[in-house]
Amino acid sequence: MNSDKITKKMTDMTRMMLDSITELQKINDNTVRELARHQLDSIEEFNTAGARQLDQLAGAKSPKELLAAQTEIASEIAKDMRENTMRAMEILTQGQKELKVFLEKNVQQFIEKTKIKD
């Protein structure tokens, strides 16, 4: 293999690695962006639940009503927390799937590029 072919192969491999890094960064950025968006939505939901809780507490006329309102709100918050956790797991699982596809594709490309052809 002459030096021009070696130089071209090295240039191609470097370009491929840079493209791979860019693609990996996009996957990471999307995953982080989705998680951040989800966290902001979760904060809004919990703020709304807190405001509802204050309204219900203010309107309670007896300890029994107060306890019923607290129990209902606690149940809603627990449900919201489960849903938020499940959504975060879905986002992370999607990111993991994208990384798996990325790795499989790039490993195969790397193997093909590193083959020495006479």
Tens of pLDDT, residue by residue over 50-73, are: 888 888 888 888 889 888 888 888
pLDDT band at 118 (very low <50, low <70, confident <90, very high): low
What is the spatial distance between Cα 76 and Cα 92, in angstroms, rounded to a whole number? 24
The distance from CA 107 to its chain's CA centroid, rounded to whole angstroms, is 23
pLDDT for the residue 82: 93
**Tokens of residue 51, six digits:** 């405001």
pLDDT band at 100 (very low <50, low <70, confident <90, very high): very high
pLDDT for the residue 101: 92
Q: Where are the domains of the chain?
A: 46-110
How confident is the model over 31-44, as pLDDT tens digits?
999 999 999 998 99
